[in-house]
Amino acid sequence: MSADPPITPELVAAHGLKPDEYQRILTLIGREPSFTELGIFSAMWNEHCSYKSSRIHLRKLPTKAPWVIQGPGENAGVIDIGDGEACIFKMESHNHPSYIEPHQGAATGVGGILRDVFTMGARPVASLDLLRFGAPEHPLMRHLIAGVASGIGSYGNSFGVPTVGGSTKFDRRYNGNILVNAMAVGIARQDEIFYAKATGVGNPIVYLGSKTGRDGIHGATMASAAFEADAQEKRPTVQVGDPFAEKLLLEACLELMKTGAVIAIQDMGAAGLTSSAVEMGAKGNLGIELDLDAVPCREPGMSAYEMLLSESQERMLMVLAPEKAAEAEAVFRKWGLDFAIIGKTTDDLRFVIKHEGEIKADLPIKELGDEAPVYDRPSVLTPRPATIAADTIVPPISHGEALLRLIGSPDLASKLWITEQYDSLILGNTIQGPGGDAALIRLGDGPKGLALTADVTQRYCEADPYEGGKQAVTMAWRNLTAVGALPLAVTDNLNFGNPENPKIMGQFIGCLEGIGEACRALDFPIVSGNVSLYNASEGQDIPPTPAIGGVGLLEDASRGATLSIKRPGDAILLLGE
């Protein structure tokens, strides 16, 4: 085993930590961090985990309503849908991985969001996806579109959840940075919801699922690997999805949850073992001690650093009731999944990592999350565009030509080529799949149903972030009401460019204000979501794209309205202005 590299300013920079952020680490722990600790900080304090650029703005969103059981902050949001049942849902992005390897990137995006939902005890009943591609004629685009569609399809189809809706649009400003946002929706009994908060000192921490490999260890390893002889071998690798393992994980988790063995559970998503363990401990006001020698590994010779930062898929972390550990293990063996006790909860509020007889990290667990930097980044609000009086515009082309162009535009073209690759019918509850205003599914044997939608019009958000944000929410609301549902709550995925650019920050703030305003006016709270910043390539930022996922309830799904005209002679009414 090679020794850990020394901590240099270059190494710190390669971990995405700014000099003042590193200073903050020094002050916090009163010494130089070890290499492993540096990796932990970089994972916990990057934009993805810490929300450092967006946190102060997100606080302004409305997240409460009498029917909200759990708002943002857990794996997914939870709402009351009556009869003791809860709907659990969330949306998440996998933009960058999908550009590097579209099939696996999109597939693992779907896998990740499904895990978020079933981690909380829900059985997934539907998924949706929002896609933004570049210009169809861009040389890479065919490959990206085909790969993303097959990736989403293959994961959801094999896992066994119907993909019932979404949205696909094209704009050349996504040429270098496509968007792949996936939304998952599940159902659980309200008294059988599981959370990430650990309780009890000395309880076993259990690792479940697939083995850990060197998957998706972030770019920092590349730099650090230069210190090792076999750098080439250890270059960060793409995460590969295994929907089969995920399906087994789902069934095993739901079976285990019924036994009462699970105290806390968290899926290993971004920043894998590190963020899941820290989160469980910090939420429960407990320390966590892990012994990495017990972690099931796919490859020999993995370092503590690699195990802590690996983003291998289809893995979970649980705190178990000690007396039920054997029963839990039996369930996991039945499903052919790895199961290992890799640590315990402690009362000292430290995050301690042991590996090969050494202490590789010893950090204050709460501060890892709470003391992450928070930025109020400079912003320049997008100026309100002047109102244009319609009668002052000379039509540039004839109506006929305009109609032809509209029909021929990729945005309006049929998306069947994509959606036919998704199993939208499995579970036998899909009343309206892809192709309607909102998807419509029946819950169990009925009569209740859910309406689901995911969309945004980035063109509006770019022209006027505030109005565009409002429009995105009201569109979701209208889509849900159009199928006959009562809109209940929202999940969002805020895709923006580089937040260090004040104009982009202005777009972000503008959109959020619009979204918040519309949600408040409509009593349509935001219960979960995700922020994806730095969507830019070669200096080109994407248009502001705050995806809105909406969920609505129908007391009687058979009363739902679908898009198709039912018979000749029916009257057509136009409502509204």
Q: Strand 204-209 vs strand 545-554: parallel, antiparallel, or unpaired?
A: unpaired
Residue partners of 376: CB distance under 8 A and separation at least 6: 56
Q: Strand 68-70 vs strand 85-93: parallel, antiparallel, or unpaired?
A: unpaired
241 or 510, CB closer to another protein? Answer: 241
Minimal distance, residue 164 CB to ligand ADP, in Å? 7
Select the residue interacting with ligand ADP from 53, 119, 157, 168 (CB under 6 A). Answer: 168
Count of CA atoms in the C-beta half-sphere (13 A) of 570:
7
Q: What does the per-residue mask of binding to ligand ADP show for 375-414, with x meaning CB under 6 A?
A: ----------------------------------------
Minimal distance, residue 326 CB to another protein, in Å? 20
Minimal distance, residue 437 CB to ligand ADP, in Å? 7
Residue partners of 437: CB distance under 8 A and separation at least 6: 453, 478, 479, 482, 483, 563
Range in contact with ligand ADP (rule: CB under 6 A) among 101-109, 161-169, 251-259, 442-450: 161-169
**Partners of residue 324 on adjacent β-strands:** none
Does the footprint of ligand ADP cover residue 167 (CB under 6 A)? yes
Minimal distance, residue 387 CB to ligand ADP, in Å? 25
**Partners of residue 487 on adjacent β-strands:** 552
Q: What does the per-residue mask of binding to ligand ADP show for 26-45, with x meaning CB under 6 A?
A: --------------------
HEC per residue, 241-301: CCHHHHHHHHHHHHHHHHCCCEEEEEECCCCHHHHHHHHHHHHCCCEEEEEHHHCCECCCC
Catalytic residue among 15, 57, 94, 355: 94
Q: Which does 154 bind (CB under 5 to 8 A by kind): ligand ADP, another protein, none?
A: another protein
Q: How far apart are CA 249 and CA 141, in angstroms?
A: 34
Q: How far apart are CA 376 and CA 332, in angstroms?
A: 45
CB neighbour class for 289 (10 Å; exposed up to 12, middle 13-18, buried from 19)? buried
Q: Which does 190 bind (CB under 5 to 8 A by kind): another protein, ligand ADP, none?
A: none
Q: Which does 131 bind (CB under 5 to 8 A by kind): ligand ADP, another protein, none?
A: ligand ADP
| Torsion angle of the four alpha carbons 167, 171, 176, 177, in this order, in degrees rounded to the nearest 10 | -30
Residue whose C-alpha is closest to residue 128's, from 471, 414, 428, 436? 436
Minimal distance, residue 457 CB to ligand ADP, in Å? 8
102-118 helix and 141-159 helix, angle to the nearest 10 degrees: 30
Question: ∠ CA(164), CA(170), CA(173), 5° rounding?
Answer: 135
C-alpha distance from residue 499 to each of 321, 502, 507, 509 (Å): 43, 7, 9, 10
Q: What does the per-residue mask of binding to ligand ADP show for 81-120, with x meaning CB under 6 A?
A: ----------------------------------------
154 or 168, CB closer to another protein? Answer: 154
138 is catalytic: no
Question: ∠ CA(516), CA(521), CA(526), 5° rounding?
Answer: 45
Does the footprint of ligand ADP cover residue 16 (CB under 6 A)? no
Does the footprint of ligand ADP cover residue 506 (CB under 6 A)? no
32 or 233, CB closer to another protein? Answer: 233
Q: Are 152 and 110 in contact (CB under 8 A)?
A: yes
Does the footprint of ligand ADP cover residue 423 (CB under 6 A)? no
424 or 493, CB closer to another protein? Answer: 424
48 is catalytic: yes
**Per-residue b or e along 428-448, where b marks 16 or more CB atoms closer than 10 Å to that residue's CB:** ebbbbbbbbbbbbbbbeeeeb
Residues forming contacts to another protein in the complex (CB under 8 A) are 100-101, 103-104, 150, 153-154, 157-160, 210, 213-215, 233-234, 237-245, 247-248, 298-299, 312-313, 335-336, 420-431, 442, 445-446, 557-558
Select the residue interacting with ligand ADP from 171, 215, 455, 464 (CB under 6 A). Answer: 455
Does the footprint of ligand ADP cover residue 129 (CB under 6 A)? yes
429 or 501, CB closer to another protein? Answer: 429
Residue whose C-alpha is closest to residue 125's, from 446, 562, 426, 477? 426
Q: Which does 418 bind (CB under 5 to 8 A by kind): another protein, ligand ADP, none?
A: ligand ADP
Binding site for ligand ADP (CB under 6 A): 129, 131, 163, 165-169, 415, 418-419, 434-436, 455
User: Catalytic residue numbers?
Assistant: 48, 94
